[in-house]
Amino acid sequence: MELHLYASAFCEPCMQTRGVLAEAERLVPDATVREFDVVRNEERAQAAGIRSTPTVIVMNAAGDEVFRAEGVPSLAQVLVAAAKAV
């Protein structure tokens, strides 16, 4: 499963979200975090429907979105989403 983080360089909540996702990645061996800067990846962000940063999208192995959070998600939210993605 992949945890996609859409972020921007100077976003304080994005920095907090990086910490949450790093911990989730540590706890869930099958999880991989991929970060996309919305400025450098503008087309991808638009295609994903990103309206604000940070936005976290959890994708299952088939590439289907199972969870989306705008703002800083809690570790519990991310872990529940990861369980849904398995």
Per-domain boundaries in the chain? 2-85
Torsion sign (Cα): 45, 14, 61, 79: negative
Q: In this predicted structure, what is the pLDDT of residue 86? A: 86
Q: Which of 41, 54, 48 is nearest to 7 (CA)?
A: 54
Q: In this predicted structure, what is the pLDDT of residue 65? A: 96
Distance CA 56, CA 76 (A): 14
Asked, as a colleague might, if the bond just before 13 is cis with ω within 30 of 0, I would say: no
Determine the average pLDDT of the residues in 2-7.
98
Q: In this predicted structure, what is the pLDDT of residue 53? A: 97
2-85 folds as Glutaredoxin (3.40.30)
pTM: 0.94
Q: 27-66: per-residue pLDDT in tens?
A: 999 999 999 999 999 999 999 999 999 999 999 999 999 9
Q: In this predicted structure, what is the pLDDT of residue 8? A: 95
> Residue 78 forms beta bridges with which residues?
none
